[in-house]
């Protein structure tokens, strides 16, 4: 949400966002469980994608709705914070 704000075109913004999201998916548990990764990767996995992935896994695989709701709350908190930052840094221009 923030990185594409600083790019000049829509296409460049999409590429910049993909350049960040794709490594996050590999490194923070979307394709492999974090328990299988080395210790240093487990320590730095605090990004929201980890909580979204764990929440989906709790709800769909384990049937743990309480854990899914806690992870959803974490993702919603981070999303609201990022939306606030984007609103603050966006300049509205009237043409």
Digits of tens for pLDDT over the chain (95 positions)? 667 667 788 888 888 888 887 887 777 777 777 778 788 777 776 677 778 888 888 899 998 999 999 999 998 998 999 889 888 888 777 76
pTM of the full predicted structure? 0.62
Chain center to CA of 9: 22
pLDDT at 46: 66
Quote the CA–CA distance of 88 and 13 in Å, as a whole number.
19
State the pLDDT at residue 76. 93
Extract the tokens encoding 81.
């914070």
Q: How much is the pLDDT for 18?
A: 84
């Amino acid at each position: 949400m923030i990185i594409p704000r600083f790019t000049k075109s829509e296409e460049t913004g999409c590429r910049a966002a993909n350049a960040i999201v794709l490594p996050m998916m590999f490194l923070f548990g979307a394709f492999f469980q974090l328990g299988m990764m080395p210790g240093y990767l487990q320590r730095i996995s605090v990004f929201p994608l980890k909580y979204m992935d764990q929440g989906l896994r709790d709800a769909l695989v384990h049937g743990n709705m309480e854990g899914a709701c806690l992870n959803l709350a974490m993702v919603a908190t981070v999303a609201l914070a990022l939306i606030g930052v984007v609103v603050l840094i966006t300049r509205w221009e009237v043409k």
